[in-house]
Structure formats: C-alpha cells, structure tokens
Structure 1
C-alpha cells in the first residue's frame, strides 16, 4: 500500500478484518491484530474483553460456526493520520435470527498495519425479544444500510 494515504490504509485494514470475519479465516484475523490487541464490548458478553489476536480470532470464528454470523460495514470515518477510525457495522446472526447494529472505535499501530484496540458500542441494548436490534425510528433502508447479510456463512467443521 505504498503511496496510500494513512486514512485509506486504516479503512483497508478494517475492511480486510471484516472480510476475515466473514470468511471465518482464523489466521487472517490474527494477522489483522497486534499480539496484545484488546477488543472491548458492552457489559454482558461472556469472556469480554477479548485480549490477544488469537482470542479475538477465536471469538469471531466461534460466532460464524455457532451463529452463522455475517458482518457488514455501513460507514467508515478514519482520522487523517490513520491512527484512529470509527465505523458503523451490522452483525447478522443468521442461525438465531438476530441482527445487532453498532459502532466501533479503532486504534492502530504506528504504521497502520495492525489493529491495537477496538471498543464496540451497540446501537441499543441487545433485546432478545427483538429479532433486529436497532435505533428507534431510524430508517436504515432509506439511509442505504444493508438489510440482509452479505452472504451465507461458511460451514466450519
């Protein structure tokens, strides 16, 4: 990515990370993170925060295997220096018929080749009674947000 501006490097790394999530690519996920990376979540997720590149990869591969998880990136905003970024995402848990939307704040290493930290914020508290968790009265369709998962989840043995 020589010649790429830092904000573009940050966005490309986030997109590579999400592709690795959707592919349940354990090594691809590990490769996106510093060894000591941390992924923080709102209260309630067992085992959170996930500490280490391997723990993060294990978590997302588990989600694909057990919930047929799929993810879409809705919006990306990266700082000019590329050291931080924020995104909006959708997590499609297709096996259990649940959809979760939220934001994440990213911090990258100095050369923007690895993710050091992710802080996740959900659009709303997870309500198991709702199959789609979303902001009240926000028109996702009119704003161009994904309304379906990007593809079927891969089968994992």
Structure 2
C-alpha cells in the first residue's frame, strides 16, 4: 500500500497535535527513533535536534514556554517526502501579544513515520511574519484569532 499525501497529512497533523499539546507520546508515535529536525540559521536554537526523544522533549519545552499552536495550511506530497506550509501561533516572553510565525517544512518518511524535517522560517518575536498582501483568509489558512485552517481543523473535527 502506498503512503498517500492524505496519509502524510494525517501523520503531520498528529505530530503537530503532539507539539501543540506537549504530548510526548503523541509525538513519539509519529517519529522514527533516529529522526533529525534541521532549523534555518540564524534563528535561535538553529542546531539540529537528533532523535525522537530529544525532539519530543524540545517541542514540549517550546509549548510550555510559549503556548504554541501549530496548524498545517497547505501540503504537497510525492514519493517518500512532503512539503507543507504551516503557521505557529505563540506568545513571546514578557507578556507580549500573541504572534503568528509562518513557514515551510520539508518532510521525509520511512516506514510510515517522519524521519527528517527541514524547517524554513524567520523567527521574529516582536511581530507576526507573513507574506505581504497574501489572501490568507480567502484561501482558508489559519490566522490570529482562528488558530486552525481548512486543512487542519481541531482534532476530532471533520476534515475537508
């Protein structure tokens, strides 16, 4: 049976649900033990995170510090890979207003799990980062005040 784009999307949704709730077991269920997550330099914490256990603990810490909520906004899948657009809604330190960081990630899969993530985004804690004049709302993307997308509704909700 082939690993369809829909199956990849569902796996990434489950991974992001674990990230958004700090649920280590949920994240571990989606990752190969030797997963590597690469980050774009010079963002804070741009060193790769290696192993499922380390990655799950990393995102649990981020969740606890910043009340992060991830949403998948778009996906393209082919072969053993997929590329997504995502939004991370989070609260910077010191009582700053909630912001949205948008980015893209390239995923590789092995044996039905995520084995590699390459993240591309610019982290700006003082403000949201978005494409200027892009019609996020009209295209069903997540946004501040609606931290879900048409493609990534809350767990248990019907998907389109």
TM-score (norm 1): 0.81
The separation in 2 between residues aligned to 1:68 and 1:56, in whole angstroms, is: 17
The verdict on how the C-alpha distance between 1:47 and 1:133 changes in structure 2, with shifts beyond 3 A counting, is: closer
Partner of 1:36: 34
**Residue 86 of structure 2, aligned match among 89, 93, 116:** 89
Q: Does 1:100 align with 2:101?
A: yes
What are the ranges of 5 or more consecutive residues in structure 2 without an aligned counterpart?
154-160
The separation in 2 between residues aligned to 1:144 and 1:73, in whole angstroms, is: 11
Aligned length: 142
Partner of 1:66: 65
The separation in 2 between residues aligned to 1:101 and 1:139, in whole angstroms, is: 14
TM-score (norm 2): 0.79
**Residue 145 of structure 1, aligned match among 141, 148, 151:** 141
- Residue 23 of structure 1 and its aligned partner are, at CA, apart by 2.1
Partner of 2:132: 136
> How do 1:3-42 residues align onto structure 2 when only pairs under 5 Å count?
6-42=4-40
The verdict on how the C-alpha distance between 1:128 and 1:7 changes in structure 2, with shifts beyond 3 A counting, is: closer
Bigger RCO (CA 8 Å, 6+ sep): 1
The secondary structure found in structure 1 opposite 2:147 is: coil
